[in-house]
Structure 1
Amino acid sequence: MDADHTPLLSNNHSNQDEEEKLSTVKKFGSESRKLWKLAGPAIFTAICQYSLGALTQTFAGLVGELDLAAVAVENSVIAGLAFGVMLGMGSALETLCGQAYGAGQIRMLGIYMQRSWVILLTTACILVPVYVWSPPILELVGETTEISEAAGKFAVWMLPQLFAYAMNFPIQKFLQAQRKVLVMAWISVVVLVLHAFFSWLLIFKLGWGLTGAAVTLNTSWWLIVIAQLLYIFITKSDGAWDGFSWLAFADLWGFVKLSLASAVMLCLEFWYLMVLVVITGRLPNPLVPVDAISICMNINGWDAMIALGFNAAISVRVSNELGAGNARAAKFSVLVVSVTSVAIGVVCMILVFATRDYFPYLFTTSEAVGKETTKLAVLLGVTVLLNSLQPVLSGVAVGAGWQAIVAYINIGCYYIVGLPAGILLGFTFGLGAQGIWSGMIGGICLQTIILIVVTSMTNWNKEAEQAESRVKRWGGSTGEH
């Protein structure tokens, strides 16, 4: 009799295994669809908004070398600094809005956004002197007087963009948390088309030069803000927008602390590769290596927009699921996005390796710069692969509200390990730009490994409980007012 039952049991087992595999594949597919619904438009929006500055830079380059240098330096150093701070402080809203939305506290989203405006507009006022006194600051980091003066003049004209950042990032996080990412994508693409036309008209055709560049770039950023605000005010955002409220000024200190932790976490990542360009400028005969690294950073910037889209998507998924108390769904979401983004990272890395003899000449006519860029392409490929997973794990951290922990990890890995290692390899061992970059990749590697360990050891049930108490503590009870 036992002999008769054995095949039956083994058949049952194999059937169960197959069913489990099928259900896992189904779940993976379903989660993938949810992620791409968020990530697709988020990537598209990030690329469109990144292109605003890049387009202005291209048109300025057609006017003259000094104009190009002025726009490039203002864009990457001054506006880059402000962008990092604003995006970072705004990402505190990702945690709170996402978790409140998951918990069904829809009305709190509008209040959180207003709190974030108060904090970011105050921060923008604090950053104004950096714009006003940018020439001496730029000279301090090693720019020539001529470039510093031109970039400084352009920076003062770009002050409206600073306040547009302060308004834009809270609006984006507010819409993202409700999964209204398509609205942002449509607005961004329309503005980008208008921006291209008016940049050509004002900078090139009418010969306004840098003045035209400033007018179009400021106007484009404010158009994005106004269009998004009109959408929110007209549709009421499904009840998430309930008008202006004095509650925006309540509990500001707790909000400031999370915003600062977010800003530190993101800025440390954002500036890490910017520092690479500055240090390379300290090498003997820096012109060729600086140009080569700038080309690589440009490609890395486009690639980073894909990772930024996944960062936003996973942050929304994790915060929504934790807010709703679905610990297992949050955990599964992390797994799916990690697999997806690493697969994309591998494809991008292969693409960089395959085109390393050709892509440098899209950006330069110089043989020396082309050869140096080809040499650096191996490091670019490795960076692209690491950058596919690392921002996703940062997005998980934002969704779960671990900004302060990640800020400490970033300081240790990037600035205590990576940067000194890069300086040692580049200068002491004489490996130049390749040495500097290799050391810094070591920092990214270490940070990625630590984040993988932290994420895999996370007790997601505990995180869901913390999300519930966070929503209650920061205004969940204000629903009755």
Structure 2
Amino acid sequence: MLLVRNKLNSRSMDHEIQAKLLRRDDEEEGDLKGRIWNESRKIWRVALPSVISRVCAFGTIVVTQSFVGHISDLDLAGYALVQTLSVRFVNGILLGMSSATETLCGQAFGAGQHHMMGIYLQRSWIIDLISLTVLIPIFIFATQIFKFLGENEFVAKSSGHISLWFIPFVYNFVFSLTIQMYLQAQLKNMVIAWLSIFQFGIHIPLSLLFVYKLNLGVGGAMIALSMSSWLLVIGEFVYIFGGWCPYSWRGFTSTVFKDLFPVVKLSISSGVMLGVMVQCCASLVSRVHGECRASTLIVRVANELGRGNAKATKFSIKVLLGTSIAIGVFFFILCLTFGKKLAYLFTDDEIIADIVSDLSLLLSFSVLLNSISPVLSGVAIGAGMQGTVAIVNFVCFYLIGIPAGALLGYTTNLKVKGIWIGMIGGVVTQTLALIYMVWTTDWDDQVKRASDRLSRFYVKTSDNKEIR
């Protein structure tokens, strides 16, 4: 009993420290430099673990792709096709749907309704699990789908084989994405960073074991990918169920089925919003660091709206947007400088390396633009405006970006470049639309809407007491 009491006291002290950090008055007297520094500390407390976890998650996929590429060029093409289209699409949908969890958890934490966070998390598991199961035929019938889209028969068959190996891997998204957002909303996501580092660290020896020692080839690389990813999820379960989230996790409850449909509606809007954007983005690199900053802004905006602080919300947006642009410029220069050298991580073919080098300029602009648009989307998610942004994304990408890309790609000599330029045009249009939307948003009204949303979904604890 003494050990349990000490553990709870430790959690209580940790909770108080986190609460004080979030509730520090952003509008306190002092110079602008001091306010920017304080806001940057809050941003990087959320952003750094998120960056680490996303880079490690992306790294495991890249490492697997590298192993597959050194086994067979045909399987490399199949892996890249499935990962770029099928996995990215499903990940984008689930990431978008999970962002509804981040919105609700962030606002609940800011408002002090901590026990609701566990309920939101359980609801997200139900919604995401059903959604992913509905999408699984994309992997089962991959060969037929890619043949229908005009892909080479041999590449389509390779893609269909590898696609089946991806099924156990993609199911980890249901838990890993939502748990990260749940922990991030309460500033406990450093544990995700450590678990992600462990996942990436063990993924390389696992890949060596299954591919070379056991000589399992492509199947071995895919087994290693699934195993390392699920080890991360198991670690997250241990952390939550082990008592390290006593205020926000109070066990499984049937309450999750109450008001489930409004959450489904918000999740679907989020899924469409981010799924469209992710599928049409030209660069995985830009997506990784763009998502990290977007996720950070979701937490900051949601927390401050939950607190009822519109001024702090606007200030946080300005600081993070400035930080994001600076990082985007850095990666813009990096991609221009090392465009060709990056290709040799995946292939020894000089011709392919030259093609990658030729596309490095477009990659650089994609990285720069995608350092801004995900951040603006993060503002919308944090405020619960997913439905509006879903419409913006659909119009910008499917009515502007894709038609422009098809026109330039198939009616001129630009080919792949033309398609990519069209996609960049969609991102530019989306960015301008989001800037206008954020600029004209009435944040005092958003504070009221956040309060109404929290009141609607609020459920008392079994003892009718709120945990603060």
- TM-score normalized with structure 2 length: 0.88
Aligned to 1:267: 275
User: Is the CA contact 1:63–1:204 (under 8 Å) kept in the aligned structure 2?
Assistant: no
Aligned to 1:74: 82
Structure 1 residue runs of 5 or longer lacking an equivalent are: 1-19, 274-296
Q: Which has the larger displacement, 303-312 or 170-179?
A: 303-312
In the TM superposition, residue 350 of structure 1 has moved relative to its aligned partner by 2.2
Aligned to 1:124: 132
Q: Which amino acid in structure 1 is aligned with residue 254 of structure 2? A: W
Aligned to 2:416: 433
Aligned to 2:439: 456
User: Is the CA contact 1:311–1:396 (under 8 Å) kept in the aligned structure 2?
Assistant: yes
Aligned to 2:316: 333
User: Is the CA contact 1:105–1:476 (under 8 Å) kept in the aligned structure 2?
Assistant: no
State the distance in 2 between where 1:31 and 1:436 align: 39
Aligned to 1:218: 226
Aligned to 1:301: 284
Q: Which has the larger displacement, 255-264 or 431-440?
A: 431-440
Task: List per-residue Cα deviations over 1:2-21 (Å, max 9, x = no partner).
Answer: xxxxxxxxxxxxxxxxxx99
In the TM superposition, residue 145 of structure 1 has moved relative to its aligned partner by 2.6
Structure 2 residue aligned with 1:153, among 161, 166, 176? Answer: 161
Structure 1 residue aligned with 2:184, among 169, 173, 176? Answer: 176
Q: Which has the higher helix share?
A: 1
Secondary structure class of the residue paired with 1:425: helix
Aligned to 2:11: none
Structure with higher Rg: it is 1
Cα distance, 1:220–1:129 mapped onto 2, change above 3 Å: same
Cα distance, 1:347–1:236 mapped onto 2, change above 3 Å: closer
Structure 2 residue aligned with 1:475, among 440, 443, 458? Answer: 458
State the distance in 1 between where 2:40 and 2:423 align: 32
Q: Which amino acid in structure 1 is aligned with residue 60 of structure 2? A: L
In the TM superposition, residue 272 of structure 1 has moved relative to its aligned partner by 0.8
Q: Which amino acid in structure 1 is aligned with residue 61 of structure 2? A: G
State the distance in 2 between where 1:59 and 1:339 align: 38
Structure 1 residue aligned with 2:263, among 232, 255, 259? Answer: 255
Q: Which has the larger displacement, 430-439 or 220-229?
A: 430-439
Q: Which amino acid in structure 2 is aligned with residue 118 of structure 1? A: I
Q: Does residue 45 in structure 1 map to residue 63 in structure 2? A: no
In the TM superposition, residue 354 of structure 1 has moved relative to its aligned partner by 3.5
State the distance in 1 between where 2:351 and 2:69 align: 21
Q: Which amino acid in structure 2 is aligned with residue 391 of structure 1? A: P
Secondary structure class of the residue paired with 2:60: helix
Aligned to 1:315: 298
Aligned to 2:336: 353
Task: List per-residue Cα deviations over 1:391-433 (Å, max 9, x = no partner).
Answer: 1111111101110100101111111112212222222233322
The count of aligned residue pairs is 437
Task: List per-residue Cα deviations over 1:373-393 (Å, max 9, x = no partner).
Answer: 333322222221111111111
Identity %: 40
State the distance in 2 between where 1:170 and 1:478 align: 22
In the TM superposition, residue 196 of structure 1 has moved relative to its aligned partner by 0.7
Task: List per-residue Cα deviations over 1:347-374 (Å, max 9, x = no partner).
Answer: 2222233345655555555554444433
State the distance in 2 between where 1:26 and 1:393 align: 24
In the TM superposition, residue 458 of structure 1 has moved relative to its aligned partner by 1.2
User: Is the CA contact 1:202–1:208 (under 8 Å) kept in the aligned structure 2?
Assistant: yes
Secondary structure class of the residue paired with 2:245: helix
User: Is the CA contact 2:105–2:120 (under 8 Å) kept in the aligned structure 1?
Assistant: yes
Cα distance, 1:246–1:389 mapped onto 2, change above 3 Å: same
State the distance in 1 between where 2:30 and 2:150 align: 59
State the distance in 1 between where 2:354 and 2:219 align: 36
Cα distance, 1:132–1:263 mapped onto 2, change above 3 Å: same
Secondary structure class of the residue paired with 1:388: coil
State the distance in 1 between where 2:200 and 2:261 align: 37
In the TM superposition, residue 250 of structure 1 has moved relative to its aligned partner by 1.2
Structure 1 residue aligned with 2:407, among 424, 427, 436? Answer: 424
